[in-house]
Amino acid sequence: MTRLPPPRLLGQFDPVLLGWVSREPIVGEHRELVTVNGLFRPFAMVRGRATGLWSRAGGTVRITPFTTLLRADRKALDADAADVRRFMSSEIASADRLSSEASWKPSLSVVRRTRAPGG
């Protein structure tokens, strides 16, 4: 028997939905996962099937299941959501640190130029 991956939150560009003639085995009746322009909404996958949508805003991750989930599956998705929040907060902190440390001084080769080119 094939072992299925654990419950996961998948992003909108996750390759699990790319390149298939039919996404029916994963998406099932939840065609709202695929937008009009062929992009995918971030979704939760449990036992190889789409089980809900997820989004993030204001530092929170919101999971909207299509149906009631088993407690163990919900717990696994909540753990994945915590990982997403942790990753995003580290990305923001890293970007803030880099922008505060950035030096915008012109290079010495520009400052020390004394004569016009060809002159």
Q: What is the DSSP string of the chain?
A: -PPPPPPEEE-TT-GGGTT-S--HHHHTT-GGGB-TTS-B--EEEETTEEEEEEEEETTEEEEEESSPPPHHHHHHHHHHHHHHHHHHHHHHHHHHHHHHH---PPPHHHHT--S-TT-
Residue 97 confidence (pLDDT): 52
Number of domains making up the chain: 1
Residue 8 confidence (pLDDT): 94
pTM for this model (two decimals):
0.69
Give the chain's mean pLDDT: 78
Residue 92 confidence (pLDDT): 58
In a domain, 21, yes or no: yes
In a domain, 100, yes or no: no
In a domain, 23, yes or no: yes
pLDDT per residue over 25-54, tens digit each?
788 888 778 777 777 889 999 998 999 999
In a domain, 99, yes or no: no
In a domain, 81, yes or no: yes
In a domain, 28, yes or no: yes
Residue 109 confidence (pLDDT): 44
In a domain, 1, yes or no: no
Q: Which domain holds residue 68?
A: 8-94
